[in-house]
């Protein structure tokens, strides 16, 4: 692809890719990720804070795109389809936050790079009764150096395990925030996202 031609935003001001561009200036897009095991409340959380109904985008991963040897001439190559939910939130006319949910299954780790590249940070949603399901996400963000926080979903308002117990079981670094949250509550999800961003801010300042 000829993406070298695309204009990369160089500063706070937007630049236009072609001299004939319209006067319409899109907002600067920023991205956060909500991750975690299957059925843990990712889509609920996205829906709670998004200003639009969460959308689902499907990514067709061909074997070519997945990095397997060239099969582009093979007419019956397989394609795997992964569905990703996302929502967005206009913070001001120049800044728009996109919130993407990562596909739950570990075997689609290769999709995560697409979802998480350039993300400000990630919230890993945890059901404390099924802690192991969040391990792939925790491992991934630790490895990539993406700032993240753990959000323990309180199903029906009740935490099955205490936050210190969850922290201890996950064995995350002491500076990684572990908070309780309710995926259905917009306030709760927003506060948890702020926790992630403040953690990212601390890290960016070198603690």
Partner 1 sequence: MSEPGRAGPAEQGRRDAVEQVSAVRPFLLTEGRVVDGEQALPMETQLVATPEALAQLEEPHLAFERRAIIETCRVPVSLAELAARLKLHLNVVRVLVGDLHTRQLLTVHVPRAAGGSDLDILRRVIDGLRAIHTSGGPGHD
Element (H, E) at 33: strand 28-36
State which of positions 151-180 bind partner 1 (CB under 8 A).
none
Distance from chain centroid for Cα 20: 34
State how far the Cα of 59 lies from the Cα of 99, in Å rounded to an integer: 16
Q: Does 27 bind partner 1 (CB under 8 A)?
A: yes
Q: Per CB under 8 A, which region of 42-50, 127-135, 159-167, 168-176 contacts partner 1?
A: 42-50
Token output for 129? 């009764």
State how far the Cα of 61 lies from the Cα of 18, in Å rounded to an integer: 30
Q: Which residues contact 113 (CB under 8 A, 6 or more apart)?
A: none
Q: Per CB under 8 A, which region of 30-38, 124-132, 159-167, 173-181 contacts partner 1?
A: 30-38
Q: Does 13 bind partner 1 (CB under 8 A)?
A: no
Q: Does 142 bind partner 1 (CB under 8 A)?
A: no
State which of positions 46-105 bind partner 1 (CB under 8 A).
47-51, 55-62, 64-65, 67, 72, 75-86, 88-89, 91-92, 95-98, 100, 103-105
């Amino acid at each position: 692809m000829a993406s070298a031609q695309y204009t990369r935003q160089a500063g706070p001001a937007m630049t236009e890719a072609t001299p004939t561009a319209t006067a319409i200036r899109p907002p600067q897009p920023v991205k956060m990720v909500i991750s975690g095991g299957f059925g843990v409340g990712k889509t609920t959380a996205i829906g709670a804070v998004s200003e639009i109904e969460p959308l689902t985008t499907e990514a067709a991963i061909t074997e070519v795109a997945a990095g397997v040897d060239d099969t582009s001439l093979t007419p019956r190559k397989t394609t795997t389809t992964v569905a990703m939910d996302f929502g967005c939130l206009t913070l001001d006319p120049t800044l728009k936050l996109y919130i993407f949910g990562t596909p739950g299954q570990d075997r689609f780790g290769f999709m995560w790079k697409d979802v998480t590249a350039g993300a400000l940070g990630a919230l890993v949603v945890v059901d404390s009764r099924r802690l192991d399901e969040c391990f792939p996400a925790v491992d991934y963000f630790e490895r990539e150096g993406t700032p993240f926080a753990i959000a323990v979903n309180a199903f029906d308002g009740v935490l099955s395990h205490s936050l210190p117990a969850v922290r201890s079981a996950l064995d995350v670094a002491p500076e990684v925030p572990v908070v309780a949250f309710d995926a259905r509550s917009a306030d709760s999800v927003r506060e948890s996202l702020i926790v992630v961003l403040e953690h990212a801010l601390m890290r960016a300042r070198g603690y």
